[in-house]
Chain A
Amino acid sequence: MTELSLNEVESLAAKVGRGSGFSWGLAEEIGRSARQLAQGGFPWADALLALAEKAGAMQTPSPAQTKQWRARQSEMGSTASLCPIRTAVLLIDDPAILRAAPLHLSNVGLPIWIAGVLAASNAAGGLEVAWSTASALVDRQGVIPKAPGGAWLTPAADVKISPGTAPQRRLRPLLRAPVADVVLTALASHAARVYVPASESSRAKGAGGGSVDEE
């Protein structure tokens, strides 16, 4: 087990996001969301690994779906899970959709990320993000479990977002993020996709700095 700082969590998660094919801007959201999940005591690392592994198989919300959400119309279920990152950033980018809460989203992959992204956006004045086996409360202070023991790593679920108030008195956000070494290794391999391997010329030029002490 390795204990990471929150900055390491954010930095690692952003690289994993980018390495998994998300755009730079979405990767930034993933980084900040992972930090929020880690502070709230959620299994951020397992959730991040699952996101990296499934990123390519999840779909973007369609214009038709967003129209339905805005109009509070019931949504037709789709065969492929919705990408939770692409879905959640739409919710924070387009406040009209969240204003329509309660909002029902069908077949969202890894729904824990909906809570993470909403928390990281600092936009949610008080929301409950719930699916059949877990529920999280999101506000400007972060994200916390509504009750212990939720199935946070549910691969896909129908999600309900509704107004919800987190208790004022609650545990302080965690400042460190433990992660199993085997998970950390797997995450590092996804993150490594943003790195450029050394070449002869890059080694020669390096980042600067003298090779000898001449003073």
Chain B
Amino acid sequence: MRLDRLGASHPTRLSFLRTLIRRATREGWRVRRAEWAVCDAGYGHAVYSVETPRRTYGLVAFSTPLEDSRRTDRVIAEAWDTSYVLYDGVPDADEIARLRQNAPLQEAGRYCARDLVLARANKSVRLFDAVVDALAKGEQPDAAFLASVGYLMRTTAVYGNGKFGIADRDAIAERPELSGPFQAEMLTVWLIRSFTIDLVEHVAARRAPGRAARLSPTGRRGLGVGNATGLGMAPFLVRHPVLMHNWFHAREAALARVRSQPTASGGAQAVFMAGLAAMRDKVRIWRTADIRQAEAIAALDADLAMIERIAVGLFRRAALPWDALYRFAEANFSLEGQEATVALILEPHGDLIDDLAETMAADENASFRIDGAMSCGALKALIARDYAWTRRYDFSQEQANARFWYVSAEKLEPRLGERLSEPGAEREQPLAIARDIAALSRALETEPAPIAVANFLLRHPEWRHVIRRAQITARHPYAEIRDNLTDAGMRPIDLLRSKLAFFGANRFDPRSDRWLRISLFASEPFPEDIVAARESGAVS
């Protein structure tokens, strides 16, 4: 649970987009383009309906003209090429009109309880135009160029859980199809991917009626949805310790189950080797200008080549072959290679581990209440046991307390400030967990051990959030990122990558220490593919 390891995270079969696709395949979800009102230039709206066994949802997509000068991935943007709402049901004309007035405005609009997710995406202009040009000529776009970008559009925000008036998570948490973490958001992005393909083919077809080509199945399959993610996502993992515990606990439980398998069946070996080959292909097209990430990718490439050389021998000889492979990676590979190995050895074991995906949601209310009857002595013991890692830091040093997290008045979004050179530290958000735990420990030093926490809190309400956290962590050992989030050298993108890997993201491309680009759903099936997969029994 250290930042450098989180910053090397890879998606696994427990990642949320994989969970979504498995359920959609298993339950035979039907996705159809219910409405297409898009002009020759590619502007207008479309509706995609998703029929699940219990309910129907609709993605409403709007495409609007955007001057190049206004196209930005930053949260300060005020207009986007496309905007989206995942709607509870299939919207009628009045509802589409309402959404047309609001969705293109994003945060400046207001939404209602039928609106489940709000999102926007900008074109990758170079690729979008190049694909239109090629298809309009009746040709396929250059495969290398297609692969080098990997998406026609990238989202710059996907909002759920009550933001700007949309439905609360409570409203969908009991629905099996959306009860897992971020399933509504993943469904939205999956449908956005289909819309981007339909849009590029539509524009090409209108430019060259009767002559334009459609994207080849291989070309389509390789395209995902890009995403640009900045600091806004970073505090999430810190603010939701129980949820984070559940995510990591599921992953670790899956790994433990697989490592304890006494043999590696022929079928499992075949799936593993296919996954390894696919990952090597992805690594070959994984581009980044970030020197550190480029070095990590090179190390990963070498690690994967090593796996290719040793895997078959290990499978034949080792008593616990998957455990042996994991241990070999742990001893010999880069962090990137170790995390990739975890993803690879989980891949062939769906029957063994996929049930764990059902344990990754969290009822955070159940852990909210403080145990005030606990003695201060017992609390001190908990902190000594669970937060020994905070002793690594000396918070009297500027380095350890160099930064502060805050919410910007301008955009109401999380930001990271420099404590010594920027104003606002007195309005710091409570995310300096290591520092605050260390300070609480000092405060407890003078407190008699038998005193109840309730009495301590009556005199010291400033420690309430820290004590709540310590008590949560006592019951949820994966709740805490065991690093100092205010350190001068802390890299927020490590937090982002971890969360994005749980989503199922690939092609992590850091653009600085505080934002990165990724791709979602590349190489995954489209909704129309899952019908065929279900009929052939190929559900993975």
For B86-121 the 0/1 string (1 means CB < 8 A from A) is 000000000000000000000000101100000000
Instruction: Give chain B residues whose Cβ lies under 8 Å from the Cβ of A90.
Output: 454, 457-458
Question: Which of B68, B74, B467 contacts A25 (CB under 8 A)?
Answer: B467
C-alpha spacing A25/B464, complex, angstroms? 5
Q: Once the chains bind, are A93 and B168 in contact (CB under 8 Å)?
A: no
In the complex, B533 has a CB within 8 A of chain A:
no
In the complex, A125 has a CB within 8 A of chain B:
no
C-alpha spacing A50/B99, complex, angstroms? 35
Q: Once the chains bind, are B124 and A213 in contact (CB under 8 Å)?
A: yes
In the complex, A86 has a CB within 8 A of chain B:
yes
The residue in B163, B169, B415, B462 that gathers the most chain A C-beta atoms within 10 A of its C-beta is B415
Q: What's the dominant secondary structure at chain B's contact region?
A: mixed
Instruction: Give chain A residues whose Cβ lies under 8 Å from the Cβ of B72.
Output: 209-213
C-alpha spacing A205/B417, complex, angstroms? 9
Instruction: Give chain A residues whose Cβ lies under 8 Å from the Cβ of B26.
Output: none
Question: Which of B74, B123, B163, B455 contacts A207 (CB under 8 A)?
Answer: B74
The tally of residues in B whose CB lies under 8 Å from a CB in A reads: 81
Question: Which of B162, B373, B417, B462 contacts A5 (CB under 8 A)?
Answer: B162
Q: Decide: A209 near B168, CB < 8 A? Known: A26-B461, A196-B415, A215-B127.
A: no
Q: Decide: A175 near B74, CB < 8 A? Known: A26-B461, A94-B372, A195-B427.
A: no
Chain B nearest Cβ from A64, distance in angstroms: 12
Q: Once the chains bind, are B409 and A196 in contact (CB under 8 Å)?
A: yes
Chain A nearest Cβ from B287, distance in angstroms: 10
Q: Decide: A92 near B415, CB < 8 A? Known: A6-B162, A175-B168, A207-B231.
A: no
C-alpha spacing A182/B228, complex, angstroms? 36
The tally of residues in A whose CB lies under 8 Å from a CB in B reads: 54
Q: Once the chains bind, are B68 and A213 in contact (CB under 8 Å)?
A: yes
Question: Which of A93, A96, A205 contacts B370 (CB under 8 A)?
Answer: A93
C-alpha spacing A93/B459, complex, angstroms? 13
For A193-207 the 0/1 string (1 means CB < 8 A from B) is 111111101110111
Inter-chain contact count A-B, CB under 8 Å? 198
In the complex, B190 has a CB within 8 A of chain A:
no
Instruction: Give chain A residues whose Cβ lies under 8 Å from the Cβ of B319.
Output: none
C-alpha spacing A193/B424, complex, angstroms? 11
In the complex, B182 has a CB within 8 A of chain A:
no
Q: Once the chains bind, are A199 and B422 in contact (CB under 8 Å)?
A: yes
Q: Give the residue name and chain of the A residue nearest to B511 (CB).
A: A210
Q: Once the chains bind, are B372 and A207 in contact (CB under 8 Å)?
A: no
Q: Once the chains bind, are A202 and B427 in contact (CB under 8 Å)?
A: no
Chain B nearest Cβ from A39, distance in angstroms: 9
Instruction: Give chain B residues whose Cβ lies under 8 Å from the Cβ of A89.
Output: 457, 461, 464
Instruction: Give chain A residues whose Cβ lies under 8 Å from the Cβ of B167.
Output: 5, 175
In the complex, A149 has a CB within 8 A of chain B:
no
Chain A nearest Cβ from B58, distance in angstroms: 20
Chain A nearest Cβ from B30, distance in angstroms: 28
In the complex, B396 has a CB within 8 A of chain A:
no
Q: Once the chains bind, are B75 and A7 in contact (CB under 8 Å)?
A: no
Instruction: Give chain A residues whose Cβ lies under 8 Å from the Cβ of B281.
Output: none
The residue in A7, A121, A175 that gathers the most chain B C-beta atoms within 10 A of its C-beta is A7
For A92-106 the 0/1 string (1 means CB < 8 A from B) is 111110000000000
C-alpha spacing A176/B171, complex, angstroms? 11
Chain B nearest Cβ from A188, distance in angstroms: 10
Question: Which of A23, A93, A120, A201 contacts B422 (CB under 8 A)?
Answer: A201
Top 6 A-B pairs ranked by shortest CB distance?
A: A25-B464, A208-B515, A7-B162, A93-B372, A208-B230, A196-B424
A-B contact pairs, 8 of them (CB 8 A): A5-B166, A93-B454, A94-B454, A94-B455, A175-B167, A201-B422, A209-B515, A210-B72
